[in-house]
Amino acid sequence: MARTVSNAFFGWTWSAVLAGVFASLVVQILLTMLGFGIGLLAIDIPTAVSTPAGAGWAGFVWWAVSGIIAAFIGGAVAAANSPDQTGLGRVGHALAAWAVATVVVVAAAALLPASATSVASNLVGPTYTASARVVALSNAPARETVGASARAPTQAQIDEARKHFAYAMFASFCALLLGAGAAYAAGMATTGRAVAETARPLT
């Protein structure tokens, strides 16, 4: 009796994953530009030393929500283009698109000489500004200016900046998990019937 070999892995294609990645990145970039337009992400690194730590949480909420939306759309595109329209195939492509998009965003922000007001750095989220604030307080103690005189930051200010950075990292971790959940939901929701209905030509 011949042994049946499962062909689940033979239904994999990187073209579907890349389609989801590009769709996710485009949505994320557009929403980040919109965030700049309405002033939620307008925090410069040179002024990050004197900026209150709580000022970045509005930007974080915008980044988290836009990331979840982008992950869902990217996951739906990847799942719709998956040659394997089983649940496992759709979800696998959707999660792969989310993972690749996350790595691309982090790598772009790490490699590019970006400022805190650039689109690339803000795609990473508020952790970029939070880390820049820690570096500015630790390495440039005379940058904080009060009136006409420069004053070195206190150890309490440096500790507060580090604590804020830790909170931002943990919150970003949770937001990325929610993005993975959105990609998973998109993979489950994009059924073969839905794909067929979308691909059917209009008459």
What is the C-alpha separation between 82 and 125, in angstroms, rounded?
30
pTM: 0.73
- What is the chain's pLDDT, residue by residue, as a tens digit (203 residues)? 444 334 444 567 889 999 999 999 999 989 988 887 776 655 544 444 445 545 566 778 888 899 999 999 999 999 999 888 888 889 999 999 999 999 988 887 777 654 545 666 667 766 666 666 766 667 655 544 545 455 666 777 677 777 877 877 888 889 989 999 999 999 999 875 555 555 555 55
